[in-house]
A and B are shown apart, each in its own frame.
Chain A
């Protein structure tokens, strides 16, 4: 009988231990000073800085968005006009961590953005009619690499290959039209509220390919109620943190791409007959250099746990909507004097964007 009791006790013991498990948030009194003078058990261990500062707006792992721009006009070099009632399109982003460790972070980025136009265009307005019929689309694949060197220094690299044009999803452009962008930054992580860095980028954000210096600056004030998120000149925002799940961002973003337009016959006719100072230059390889400045307010908040909603509204200021004849990519830069094949005037307008996001831990 004694044996029976012993056996039952033995069998029941794990269950009783499980039930007796304490609430895991309960704080127990302990002499914590004993942990002050510890060191690494492994002599080769090294500390690294992290890729974030406190309260930085959460990084989006998956983002499904919709962009809507209000009415604006387009005037082509011969004076023909198009009036767009609105333009709109979906914006998808996937930022998948491939390798996420404290000594290196590698992310794979996939993005897709479409813009469809609704309105009317003069019969002579070849660009306007093309936009109404075909719209614009960008699909890209890229990577972001954060490599901390130690507790204070890091290297940030971003690279992407984008296919931008007036193609349809069932009629892709040849991959020879891929456009490559990259940025490399050397940075300092001064403390948990400040990191900054300097670097160089090859970018299409102003429409055409350009090489420009970049400046990274992420800062959070000591009271942790506000901060700044800057990757100049691409974007800069003032951040107001209401709490860890509600933030407001005020600032701007430069957005642009170089779009391959495939309607070559029409553009050839137009170029030969109508463009001043461009006579006898057939636009056989039209590239639309679209660059715009989005001055905006963004309110981002957690709907539930890691599902965030981002509401964005602002003013879209057109910087460039010119067409180049590009048999091969060339560098004009800010000071180049190569003429455009078509110099268009695109109106400015208000815009809004909403996105549903799964954010990163």
Chain B
């Protein structure tokens, strides 16, 4: 019985620390706007990882068809009719430490390309989203701003 009490107590003491780590990691959760202002992305936690989906488009309809925009540049033909609104373009991010989330990818619907990606939280309302090819030097950083109800337009 004593052997069973020890792991239980350890788990019990670890809870507050885990809870703190969760809170720190979850700061990324929210609605963000990429620098071009053409979309809004909601980052949420699913399981142990973080994902971001498009929840708003400045131009929701395709000017050519008049219908809601779809992922027509996707290299996988079977996904070209998937609506962009609701599309998860950030995938599989884990909280690395401090202000950094990595291990994920970002998808660019404009050209159908997927890039390796790291996310750095510069401050509570600013994310540096760096998409790159293989090594971080060959990449581009986009700055995303947090959105809130009643925020500045």
Which A residues contact B (CB, under 8 angstroms)? Answer: 3-4, 6-7, 10, 14, 17-18, 20-22, 24-30, 32, 35-43, 45, 47-50, 54-55, 61, 96-97, 100-103, 105, 151, 192, 222-224, 243-245, 305-306, 358, 360-361
Indicate whether B108 reaches chain A with its CB closer than 8 angstroms: yes
Please pick, from B56, B75, B133, the residue contacting A361 in the complex, using a CB distance under 8 A.
B133
Q: How far is the CA of A243 from the CA of B113 in the complex (A)?
A: 12
Q: Are A25 and B82 in contact (CB under 8 A)?
A: yes
Indicate whether B66 reaches chain A with its CB closer than 8 angstroms: no
Q: How far is the CB of A33 from chain B (nearest CB, A)?
A: 9
Which residues of A are found within 8 Å of B153, using beta-carbon distances? 39-40
Q: Are A37 and B149 in contact (CB under 8 A)?
A: yes
**A-B contacts at CB below 8 angstroms, number:** 157
Please pick, from B40, B115, B142, B151, the residue contacting A41 in the complex, using a CB distance under 8 A.
B151
Q: How far is the CB of A14 from chain B (nearest CB, A)?
A: 6
Residue of A nearest to B55 (CB): A35
7 contacts between A and B (CB under 8 A): A32-B55, A32-B85, A38-B147, A39-B152, A43-B151, A96-B137, A102-B36
Do A358 and B125 form a contact, CB below 8 Å, given A22-B46, A45-B145, A192-B38? Answer: no
Interface of A is mostly: loop
Do A38 and B46 form a contact, CB below 8 Å, given A43-B152, A306-B113, A361-B132? Answer: no
Residue of B nearest to A95 (CB): B138
Which residues of A are found within 8 Å of B140, using beta-carbon distances? 97, 100, 105, 360-361
Q: Are B143 and A103 in contact (CB under 8 A)?
A: yes
Q: Are B33 and A40 in contact (CB under 8 A)?
A: yes
Query: Which residues of chain B in 124-139 are interfacial with respect to chain A, using CB atoms and an 8 Å cutoff?
Result: 124-126, 128, 131-133, 137-139
